Structure 1
Amino acid sequence: MSTLNVRLSLMMFLQFFIWGGWFVTLGTFLANNLSATGGQIGMAFSTQSWGAILAPFVIGLIADRYFNAERLLAILHLVGAVLLFQLYRASDFAAFYPFVLSYMIVYMPTLALVNAVAFRQMRDPAQEFSKIRVWGTVGWIIAGLVISFLFGWDSQQAIAAGALRNTFLMCAIASALLGLYSFSLPSTPPLARREQGGLRAILGLDALRLLKDRSFAIFFVASVLICIPLAFYYQNANPFLAEIGVDNPTGKMTLGQISEVLFMLLLPLFIQRFGIKKTLLLGMLAWTLRYALFAYGNNGDLLFMLVVGIALHGICYDFFFVSGQIYTDTKAGETFKGSAQGLITLATYGVGMLIGFWVAGKVTDHFAAVPGHDWQSIWLFPAVFALGVFLAFLVAFREQRPASLSAAAKTA
């Protein structure tokens, strides 16, 4: 690996170490240390969606037109370090929420910025990018292992003592390091001229005409709806495992990211052999299976069911969301590639997840018990919901297999 690729890999490692270092345990921290309700926890997680909705403005109106990507990346992470430190200091949810909202508005644009910095330095992105991006997943995994096995912040005793607060301090330090490090990254000046494009292009609205295609419209609606089950995993998985007494829950959840890497490698082969419809359906069916395993597993003789449910993350995420990005790319053609990806990201991580976190919060509050929660009922809701989306998609979606789809899969 070249020196440049090592530098870009370190950038990716820190980028996702920061996110994975506090986001996974957020629900557990809020419920146990700030006495937050399910609705309030949903509000906190939905800040990711608000950040995703606003990110195109930051990237399209600022980074693509006025500032070098690496400099804006540096500034946003330095500001983020200050905000994460404020989260570390927050004593109640009222003090916590404004800072987590501000942080996600600052952080979500950096996901596009690190990609911009990386892509601009590559001669062959299709061959090089995955080898660099995988270090982001490694960073997320290491963050979880550090929390569980190095510091033990997610043990029941440590949670009761408020140790999870330290995750924000750890990530504030990492964010400051990445901010300073970003100034040393290769120069990535804006390419777009200020007069080019417009608000429709920035937000991906030019791609709305793709919805005239019946199959793409069905896929688009399914993408929004499947984000509701996804939100349950992000919001409730760690609190669920911690509440029922699973040892090192954050460390065990890194199995999901490990499987994500493995299934990412298998995805192109699966699309080539079985087509996009079967791949998408398998991803949706995996959500149903995962939540059924969560509903009926336990911390005793059925612990293996919880572990399998976590390990299914690779199929759940890669086979629907990543393959969906490939499908969107092939449907858009050359004209709307960027705007189409922007539209599907806005719909899923923005609108879909925003609805999903709200629903997850309401369902969690509805099945709250004394003490704890009726977790079986909570997990059965997204299991049945995902099954409904699966059946509707199975009946309604009609696949057309252009030759470009297989070609796109090979470069995924």
Structure 2
Amino acid sequence: MWFVDLMGFQVNQMQFVTSGVLGFILCAYSFTLPACKTAAKGEKKSVAEAFGLKAFALFKQKRMAIFFVFSMLLGVSLQITNSFANPFISSFAAVKEYADTFGVQHANILISLSQISETICILLIPFFMKRYGIKNVMLIAMFAWVLRFGLFGVGNPGSGVWMFVLSMIVYGVAFDFFNISGSLFVEQNTTDDIRSSAQGVFFLMTNGIGATIGTIAAQKIINHFTHGELIDGQFYTVGEWQTCWFIFAAYALTVAVLFAFIFRTKKEVKA
């Protein structure tokens, strides 16, 4: 992200070239990883087992079905800021007061604080899991999303840049606490034969279905409240961004409140 920002690739096709090159490098690196056996030699699997479809039987269990549904609902929030934080912060270039601020000139670097926070906040999970339990950790993540969006709504790259920075820090809690604690919940509530497939279902619901719905829905909301404008030869998305962020925050709050009242755990997961 820093490379793309400092090289001036944020607004041209070179960001995709950079991503492609890194993809080839990671592909080559993957061949150096140790082998991971998926089944004992000679063991036969059915088509359903081979594709991990047996894990979908977990939807027959009320508690697991509720968990997966809420995973999808929370997953709606996952990619909203990843997709739209940059055009939002960059749009402040249309306002003279903020046009030359660091955040506007280097939106990617500012946003990268989210990924730094994400890495660091993983270290907090064992403490929070032990002290507060699985459901409360998930709730902390959900309310962190409310704060993440709300701070975007009230902040600016000038005197209010601290709100953007705080939003980036909060992202680590919002993303990690549900994804990691959710994985631990699946680990504790599934049997060995479907555990890995159940993890796949969890990530399908969050980073797959939920994130896709969230990105598409968020784009429709942003299209409704904002519009494209050419300023000094540069295209910006301007308009009622604040309204958009407050709508996203209200959605995250609704999911959190419903989760608090509907989801129940039989036993707490301890890290």
Q: TM-score, structure 2 length as denominator?
A: 0.84
Size of the aligned set, in residue pairs, is 252
- Paired residues of 1:235 and 1:360 also in contact (CA < 8 A): no
Partners in 1 of 2:130 and 2:185 — Cα distance? 12
Distance 1:248 1:338, change over 3 A: same
- Paired residues of 1:283 and 1:320 also in contact (CA < 8 A): yes
1:319-334 aligned within 5 A: 319-334=177-192
Identity %: 33
Partners in 2 of 1:181 and 1:391 — Cα distance? 43
Paired residue for 1:359? 217
Unaligned runs of 5+ in 1: 1-143
Q: CA deviation at 1:376?
A: 0.7
Which region of structure 1 is more displaced relative to structure 2, 322-331 or 171-180? 171-180
Distance 1:188 1:210, change over 3 A: same
Q: TM-score, structure 1 length as denominator?
A: 0.57
Does 1:391 find its partner at 2:264?
A: no
Q: What per-residue deviation string (whole Å, max 9, x for no partner) do you get for residues 74-111 of structure 1? A: xxxxxxxxxxxxxxxxxxxxxxxxxxxxxxxxxxxxxx
State the secondary structure of the residue aligned to 1:369. strand
Paired residue for 2:243? 377
Paired residue for 1:175? 23
Paired residue for 1:312? 170
- Paired residues of 1:284 and 1:386 also in contact (CA < 8 A): yes
Q: CA deviation at 1:203?
A: 4.1
Does 1:145 find its partner at 2:11?
A: no
Q: CA deviation at 1:189?
A: 7.1
Does 1:345 find its partner at 2:203?
A: yes
Does 1:188 find its partner at 2:43?
A: no
Match of 2:87 among 239, 251, 258: 239
Partners in 2 of 1:168 and 1:366 — Cα distance? 28
Does 1:264 find its partner at 2:122?
A: yes
1:110-259 aligned within 5 A: 144-149=1-6, 151-154=7-10, 159=11, 164-183=12-31, 185=32, 188=35, 191-192=38-39, 196-245=44-93, 246-259=104-117
Partners in 1 of 2:228 and 2:25 — Cα distance? 43
Q: Structure 1 counterpart of 2:9, which letter?
A: W
Q: CA deviation at 1:295?
A: 0.9
Distance 1:196 1:366, change over 3 A: farther
Q: What per-residue deviation string (whole Å, max 9, x for no partner) do you get for residues 348-401 of structure 1? A: 222212211221121111112353232111111211111000000011111222
Partners in 2 of 1:275 and 1:189 — Cα distance? 32
Partners in 1 of 2:28 and 2:133 — Cα distance? 44
Partners in 2 of 1:381 and 1:202 — Cα distance? 41
Distance 1:326 1:165, change over 3 A: same
- Paired residues of 1:232 and 1:357 also in contact (CA < 8 A): yes
Paired residue for 2:96? none
- Paired residues of 2:75 and 2:205 also in contact (CA < 8 A): no
Unaligned runs of 5+ in 2: 94-103, 230-237
Distance 1:191 1:341, change over 3 A: closer
Please identify which structure carries the higher strand content.
Answer: 2
Partners in 2 of 1:213 and 1:220 — Cα distance? 11
- Paired residues of 2:77 and 2:211 also in contact (CA < 8 A): no
Paired residue for 1:401? 267
Q: Structure 1 counterpart of 2:127, which letter?
A: L
Please identify which structure carries the higher helix content.
Answer: 1
User: CA RMSD of the aligned region, Å?
Assistant: 2.2
Q: CA deviation at 1:294?
A: 0.6
